[in-house]
Amino acid sequence: MTKEVSTARGLTDTQARAIEGAAQAARVYREELPQMPARPTLDLDEAAGRFLGPLPEAGMPEDDVIAQIVRDASGGLHSMANPTFFGYVLGASHPVGVAADMLVSAWGQNAGSSFETPAVTGMERAVCDWVISLLSLPPDSGAGLVTGGTVANMVGVMAARNKLLSAQGWDVEADGLFGAPEIPVLIGQDAHSAPFAALRYAGLGAARVQVVETDGEGRIMPDAFRKALEQIDAPPLVVLQAGQINTGAFDPFTDLIPMVHERKGWVHVDGAFGLWLAAVPELEHRLADVQKADSWAVDLHKWLNAPFDAGMVIVRDRAPLVASMSARGAYLPETTVHWEPTDSTPELSRRARGIPSYAILRHLGVTGVRELVARHCRLAERIAATVSAESGLAVLNEIHSNQVAIACGDDGLTMRVLKRVQERGKVYPTHGEWAGRQIIRASVIGYAMTEIDADLLSAEVINAYRWCASNPE
């Protein structure tokens, strides 16, 4: 009897409490975040040990499961969503995106098909249109919502592969790569590891690519690039970069892209975070002509601060994107929105991962997106100015976007300073290597970061440096 009643309202009491408990725990976590240490207090063995072991024979009520997860995760989570997190290049899961993300799971939509879930398709299509428009990319481009930058790069490279080979009369989707004409691939020597992975996944090989010399900021040098192109006879695939991981710099698109197109090649841009500068009128000249490329990879879970599992591939010519990604039968009709989600991503079934980004974009509006990106670039300059004013500390890069590469007198000292900053637990930058040196890398990207956080980062680095310099090991 009880069972029938609860089934009639869709949820049992324990299920309802589980959902409410999770929402409440989410809220409490984010409210308490500023008081929490910037890094986990438990090590991997302690934190993971709470969860490992055999699956118990007996199950557990749903609300108790949520309570257990919340309790046992405590101390083992990293405060990545806090504006004191300057590590890697990570967004901070904007709360409106988090809230929308809960709906994504609750609705349980398979976003792969527009025929079954038209509202989701509408929101995801809006995200694609809005991002394309914000970044001033060609309005008729094809786009796919993927898991992140790495997969966005992979899909872009696969679309390129389709087009470059079909131009030589080879159908790579039907016949694969064995016996196919070669595709020469060029990439800058300071490219991120993700496009190398993408090339590997696409069967183009990470090691057979030709790596082109870059300047002190990690930008491809046009003369070296021209020379490299002259050695090549087939139309190449060229991977350029908008936002070098250590310096935040941009390849010189104005010089490079026409050289590739003269040779009927394809330009793919890894713009995981840096492409967002194209949304800001006073900054977009830094990546002028990036829109002339053929495909772009951009993350939504970095600068847009969407919860993780959010990236986007954009391809000027939609046909090779669909040819390389579509898993559906060709007989299915086009929808009224002329966009079938599964045509542009590797997955067939997937979560409605575009909805958190829809919520964030709708919340910010064009003005909010511009303000966010411009503020972070300003804060990066502020950090660079403060830190480099301390004698003994150096900022190794020019500030092109939101990345600051900090080094001390020698590598050993730099690493000690970083360790001390991290251990103090007030702010959390991470490590990098640049110009043959170890660096402390600060990435200004969390939606809530202000001058207070930027100044705290600078002060922590300067104080740790002074302490380490006067307390040699």
Nearer CB in complex with ligand PLP: 401/414: 401
- Closest CB to ligand PLP among 113 and 247? 247
Site for ligand PLP in 285-324 (CB under 6 A): 299, 311
CA distance 90 to 264: 35
- Whether the CB-CB separation of 377 and 383 falls below 8 Å is answered with no
Q: Give the range of 34-42, 227-235, 266-274, 370-378 binding ligand PLP by CB under 6 A.
A: 266-274
Please tell me the distance from the alpha carbon of residue 355 to that of residue 262, in angstroms, as a whole number. 39
Indicate which single residue of 96, 172, 204, 272 sits in contact with ligand PLP (rule: CB under 6 A): 272
The nearest distance, CB 218 to ligand PLP, in angstroms, is 10
Question: Least Å distance between CB 151 and ligand PLP?
Answer: 7
Cβ-based neighbour number of residue 21 at 10 Å: 19
* Closest-CA residue to 151 (of 301, 376, 287, 292): 301
Task: Kindly identify the residues of this chain, within the stretch 12-51, that bind ligand PLP according to CB under 6 A.
Answer: none
Binding of residue 218 to ligand PLP (CB under 6 A)? no
Which residues 66-95 are close enough to bind ligand PLP by CB under 6 A?
Answer: 89
Question: How far is CA 200 from each of CA 78, 185, 433, rounded to the nearest angstrom?
Answer: 31, 12, 23
* Binder of ligand PLP out of 17, 94, 163, 192 (CB under 6 A): 192
| Residue nearest to ligand PLP as judged by C-beta position | 149
Q: Does 188 bind ligand PLP (CB under 6 A)?
A: no
β-sheet bridge partners, residue 407: 394
Work out whether strand 403-407 and strand 430-434 pair parallel, antiparallel, or are unpaired.
Answer: unpaired
Interface size with ligand PLP, residues (CB under 6 A): 13
Which residue, 273 or 465, is less far from ligand PLP as judged by CB? 273
What is d(CA 163, CA 146) in angstroms, rounded to the nearest whole number? 21
Exactly one of 83, 148, 188, 356 binds ligand PLP (CB under 6 A); which one? 148
3-state secondary structure of 431: strand
Residue-wise over 438-455: b if at least 16 C-beta within 10 A, else e? bbbbbbbbbbebeeebbe
Residue 187 within binding range of ligand PLP, rule CB under 6 A: no
Residues that bind ligand PLP (CB under 6 A): 89, 148-150, 192, 194, 243, 245, 270, 272-273, 299, 311
